[in-house]
């Protein structure tokens, strides 16, 4: 990647306030929840879920992940 090109695959969901910076490659079926952010030069592989208020540091490559949430009763 480089040169300011950001590419986004198919069937992605970007919720309110999410942000994708420059030079990012986002593959297919990626979900970025509310206020999630991806910094520059990252690669986000297929089926990744980035939780709300999460930040992904620059130059990071993310594979398939599972989002776990702490429940409070």
Is 80 exceeded by the pLDDT of residue 65? no
pLDDT tens per residue, range 39-64: 999 999 999 998 888 889 899 998 87
Which residues are part of the catalytic machinery? Answer: 22-23, 40
Is 50 exceeded by the pLDDT of residue 71? no
pLDDT tens per residue, range 1-16: 568 899 999 999 999 9
CA dist 49 and 62 (Å) reads 10
- pTM for this predicted structure: 0.84
pLDDT at 72: 47
DSSP, residue by residue, 13-54: EE-TT-EE-SS-EE-SS-EE-TT-EE-TT-EE-TT-EE-TT-
Q: Which of 22-26, 59-63, 66-70 has the lowest mean pLDDT?
A: 66-70
Q: Are 38 and 32 in contact (CB under 8 A)?
A: yes
CA dist 27 and 11 (Å) reads 9
């Amino acid at each position: 990647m480089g040169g300011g090109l950001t590419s986004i695959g198919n069937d992605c969901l970007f919720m309110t306030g999410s942000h994708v910076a420059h030079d990012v490659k986002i593959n297919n079926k990626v979900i970025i929840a509310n206020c999630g952010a991806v910094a520059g030069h990252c690669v986000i592989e297929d089926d990744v879920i980035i939780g709300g208020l999460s930040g992904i540091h620059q130059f990071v490559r993310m594979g398939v992940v599972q989002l776990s949430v702490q429940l409070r009763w």
